[in-house]
Amino acid sequence: MSFLRKITRGLRSLFRKEQFDRELSEELSTFAELAAQEKIKQGMTRQEALRAVRLERGTVEIAREEVRSATWESFVEGLWRDIRFALRSLRKSPGFTAVVVLTLTLGIGANTAIFTLINAVMLQKLPVRNPEQLYRLGDNNNCCVMVGLQNDDSFVLYSYSLYEYLRDHTPQFEQLAAFESYISDISVRSPHDASAEPYKGEFVSGNYFQTLGVGASFGRLLIPQDDSQAAPRVAVISYRLWQQRFGFSRAVIGSTFDIGGVPYTIAGVAPPQFYGDTLRSDPPDFWLPLVGEPEKWRLESPNPEWLYLIGRLKPDSKPEFTPASVQAQLTGELQQWLNAHRDIFEKRDWDQIPRQHITLTAAARGVEQMQTDYALGLRLLAALSVLLLMIACANIANLLLARGSANQSQMAVRLAMGGTRLRLMQQLLTESVILSLVGGLSGLYVAYVGGHALLLLAFRGANYIPISARPSLPVLLFAVGLSLITGIVFGIAPAWMNSRSDPAEALRGSGRANSEKSSKLQKSLIVVQVAMSIMLLVGAALLTSSLRNLEKQNFGFVTEGRLIVDLIYPEAGGYADSQLPALYRGLQTSLSQIPGVQSVALSTYSPLDGDNWNEWVYIEGRPADFTGVAPSWLRVGPHYFETVGTRLLQGRVIDERDVPGAPRAAVVNETFARKYFPKGDAIGQHFGTNDVKNSGAFEIVGIVEDAKYQDTRGPAYPTFFWPLLQVPPGEPLRGWARTIELNVAGRSENVEPAVRQAIAGVDPRITVLKVQSFGEQVALNFNQERLIARLTELFGALALILACLGLYGLTAYSVARRTNEIGIRMALGADRGNVLGLVLRSAVAQVGLGLAIGIPAALAGGHLLASQLYRVKSYDPVILGATALILAASAILAASVPARRASRVDPIIALRHE
């Protein structure tokens, strides 16, 4: 019989069962009649012949069932019967069904929410053409502007000159594109706006969109000809901006926008799902050609390295087109270029050029910045959510075992009537799978709500996140697969135990042996629950303590009552260096007059805002010291240290006397002073940057306490502070005061409108990027730690509840099963205390064994968490003791409820229980 005919016959059997059975009976009766005729020919009577056929082949009904059981539709029909029976059974036990479904909803929903985040962050490829052909020149996320040779001899950032060289000498690439290693804050004024607004922009090479393989939604995208000094300035806007800001107006295309003081014509709109080369919060609103980069010296000089490169390899089978061969060629080209530009490096670095190399990495997911940052945290959350699901499975398995024990007589009847154990297991597993699928379906809603909450928690402070918590096809498949696996996992042991009932014993009401086996398995599951729960609770306590230590540490500055204001200046036609003193004085004076503002300061950037500028220094009269990390630096105005709350330890701070033409002054932090002046004689010493001939440029006039500007976990970097308006000899003023710090009395958020108005009064061309509290800026540095800590707290609380429910259910079941025994004990003189102790001893033993297993496992887990912890030991005895005490006390309290109920049982009623 052909496959198609089998399918057709099976469907006919399912949907026209009565007709099919009638035809099959007629066919089988015909076969029986023919067999009887053959026997009649051999000398039997008709009655003897029919009897012989029935003995050989069975009755028509039996033969019909054998034929049907051999077909695939028999399995489908049996499964449908099992499903209907399971639904009727579950409908009769609404309390049991609700508890199981709620437990599964939380367990499967938590896992699906985590997978939603993992799928969106770690697994999704760029929404571009053939993303598997894209390769990145680099293997890490160094940012943002560097000079000289790079970390570990592996090049990640490239100068514009080096990019052009690699692009023109590597024919294996269809296209090689360059783009900034960071997103720029730009001020944009549309033709219909009176004032500029802040947006996110990315400067990219003209072949950027061609390289990625992206087409325009409307208009056109950038082309190589746009990336030329002689070409008119054009820009591309994101689809989201076109939708939300301009309402899909086609009039935007061809309009001229003022971007950073330069007129740009909008050429087109990017595709709806395109967010750029990097998955990140607040992706670009505008893509601009590299030639429009405001810092022109970066394009003209071969020195600064500030670009990421991504190329599309030609789809060719030749050996020279393989990633390995292209990587080797790129490394050769890099070393040739470095040797040709030795003058831009220190002589001490020349012998390192042969070790410089380029690592070609797959870029189907673009620059994996977010993937790298969140990889460890997401893996940890996935492990914790699986652990929570295992606890839920153990709890449900306990409930099913208790339910099955109560239904032993029913199982015995089925077995006595001819049902097979395999058939019973199938029916019980069907019930488990139905429960898990219902739990998984409701878990999708929990996953959506939880995933949305996770995104808000993980990307706190973001205006837009280019990933969604909406269930996608991979998420739906994951939820269904997890539900099926979960149903089998928590259902297999109860199904096996309940199908092993001895019919004779159970029908006589003495299925004690099977009940004892079930009880032992239930107790084992409680032990497992307690062990896994203590692991989750300890992990939650460790991570919460670590987060608290991070947030409450001494940063070296004060966040209370402080506001941070970030600015964008007009780039073109903005300010000459000679105009800056008056501009800064005007800003400081205007802001100081706002009621409640106690002090105002200006700086190039603020602590923990994600920025860092560093440079090697030359100490006057001493050999150069290039060990460790290069010192960080920033320019600050008068009253800066007073405003941010950093204490002066020695000398003086930068103040109004440090103006152009005055002796150049500098303030250093403690780490800088210890590194370069271990004898404690830093005050009065001189240093400079860029060249040893500048070693006497700046005099150290003060030392301030260490403050953390870049890394919240490690020690403060060696840091020096220059006055805003003083520069090394022969250098232009680098880095405007793009940040304003305010010390405000009262509620700082009430000051924002006045701040914006005061800045606009000084110069309306200055765009306020954002105004936020200093505390919020610091808090944004702990988004990942906060996400992990809060989720582990939630998982730990759920694990504690499930463990207590499991122990409560087992104790209640044990009390119900031993009611007759308790009655006998009380009739013989046992008091309530004896009964209470009898019941609780078993619960205490299970909790104790679970803790004995779980605490060593928690210690091992804490060791794995060590890299995530800050100033808290992975084996902290206080945390271990406190979590164990909380778990034990909660579990014993849960077990004491049925124990107290048992101690109040009337002996007469108990003796009549069975």
Residue-wise pLDDT for 863-875, tens only, equals 988 888 999 998 8
Report cis status (omega within 30 of 0) of the bond before 144: yes
H-helix or E-strand spanning residue 119: none
The pLDDT value given to residue 517: 58
* Angle at 70 (CA atoms; ends 64, 71), nearest 5 degrees: 100
Give the total residue count for the chain.
914
Percent of residues, the chain, with pLDDT higher than 90: 47
Q: By the 8 A CB rule, do 576 and 660 touch?
A: no
**Does residue 327 surpass a pLDDT of 90?**
yes
Q: Which three-class secondary structure state does DSSP give residue 296?
A: helix
Residue 228 and residue 733: Cα distance in Å, rounded?
27
Q: Which amino acid is at 862?
A: G
User: Average of pLDDT values for 386-398?
Assistant: 89
Residue 491's nearest CA partner among 427, 543, 578, 411 is 427
Q: How confident is the model at residue 502 (pLDDT cuts 50, 70, 90)?
A: low
Residue 150 and residue 142: Cα distance in Å, rounded?
9
The pLDDT value given to residue 592: 95
Question: Could you write out the three-class secondary structure of 818-835?
Answer: CHHHHHHHHHCCCCHHHH
Q: What is the mean pLDDT of the chain?
A: 85
Q: By the 8 A CB rule, do 593 and 599 touch?
A: no
Q: Where are the alpha helices (DSSP H) in 362-462?
A: 369-406, 408-416, 421-458
The pLDDT value given to residue 315: 83
The pLDDT value given to residue 13: 55
Distance of alpha carbon 864 from the chain centroid: 18
Encode pLDDT of 256-268 as tens digits.
999 988 999 999 9
The pLDDT value given to residue 712: 93
Q: Which three-class secondary structure state does DSSP give residue 285?
A: coil
User: Average of pLDDT values for 683-693?
Assistant: 91
Residue 865's nearest CA partner among 550, 529, 535 is 535
Encode pLDDT of 692-720 as tens digits.
888 999 999 999 999 999 899 999 999 99
| 629 compared with 319, residue with greater pLDDT | 629
Q: How confident is the model at residue 91 (pLDDT cuts 50, 70, 90)?
A: confident
Place of tokens 């409307």: 218
**Does residue 516 surpass a pLDDT of 60?**
no
Residue 850 and residue 765: Cα distance in Å, rounded?
67
Question: Could you write out the three-class secondary structure of 671-710?
Answer: HHHHHHCCCCCCCCCEEEECCHHHCCCEEEEEEECCCCCC
Encode pLDDT of 796-834 as tens digits.
998 998 888 888 877 877 776 666 677 777 767 777 778
The pLDDT value given to residue 575: 80
| 410 compared with 706, residue with greater pLDDT | 706
**In angstroms, what is the C-alpha Rg of the chain?**
38
**Does residue 434 surpass a pLDDT of 80?**
yes
The pLDDT value given to residue 885: 95
Q: How confident is the model at residue 511 (pLDDT cuts 50, 70, 90)?
A: very low
The pLDDT value given to residue 48: 76
| 83 compared with 659, residue with greater pLDDT | 659
**Does residue 503 surpass a pLDDT of 70?**
no
Return the axis-axis angle of helices 72-91 and 60-69, rounded to nearest 10°: 90
Encode pLDDT of 212-245 as tens digits.
999 999 999 999 999 998 899 999 999 999 999 9
Q: Which three-class secondary structure state does DSSP give residue 527?
A: helix
Residue 851 and residue 529: Cα distance in Å, rounded?
10
* Angle at 431 (CA atoms; ends 426, 436), nearest 5 degrees: 120
Q: How confident is the model at residue 191 (pLDDT cuts 50, 70, 90)?
A: confident
User: Average of pLDDT values for 519-547?
Assistant: 90
Q: By the 8 A CB rule, do 722 and 666 touch?
A: yes
Encode pLDDT of 441-467 as tens digits.
999 998 998 888 888 888 888 889 888
User: Average of pLDDT values for 730-742?
Assistant: 81
The pLDDT value given to residue 513: 46
The pLDDT value given to residue 349: 74
Token pair listed for 145:
């502007």
Q: By the 8 A CB rule, do 130 and 286 touch?
A: no
Confidence (pTM) = 0.82
DSSP label of 662:
S
Residue 623 and residue 78: Cα distance in Å, rounded?
87
Residue 320 and residue 327: Cα distance in Å, rounded?
10
The pLDDT value given to residue 5: 56
Q: By the 8 A CB rule, do 268 and 261 touch?
A: no
User: Average of pLDDT values for 334-341?
Assistant: 91
Residue 658's nearest CA partner among 725, 604, 704, 600 is 725
CB atoms < 10 A from the CB of 576, how many? Answer: 7
Residue 266's nearest CA partner among 201, 197, 182, 175 is 201
Phi then psi dihedrals of residue 648, to 5 deg:
-80, 130
Q: How confident is the model at residue 410 (pLDDT cuts 50, 70, 90)?
A: low
The pLDDT value given to residue 360: 94
Q: By the 8 A CB rule, do 675 and 718 touch?
A: yes
The pLDDT value given to residue 897: 86
* Angle at 49 (CA atoms; ends 47, 50), nearest 5 degrees: 65
CB atoms < 10 A from the CB of 246, how many? Answer: 18
Place of tokens 């489908």: 76
Encode pLDDT of 378-387 as tens digits.
888 899 999 9
In this structure, of 3-7, 282-286, 835-839, the range with the lowest mean pLDDT score is 3-7
Percent of residues, the chain, with pLDDT higher than 70: 86
Return the axis-axis angle of helices 473-498 and 369-406, rounded to nearest 10°: 30
* Phi-psi region at 159: left, alpha or beta (left = phi > 0; alpha = psi -120 to 50): beta
Top mean-pLDDT range of 205-209, 317-321, 512-516:
205-209
CA distances from 561 to 167, 638, 710, 749, 750 (A): 51, 19, 21, 10, 11
The pLDDT value given to residue 906: 65
The pLDDT value given to residue 806: 83
Q: By the 8 A CB rule, do 344 and 104 touch?
A: no
Q: By the 8 A CB rule, do 714 and 725 touch?
A: no
Q: How confident is the model at residue 431 (pLDDT cuts 50, 70, 90)?
A: confident
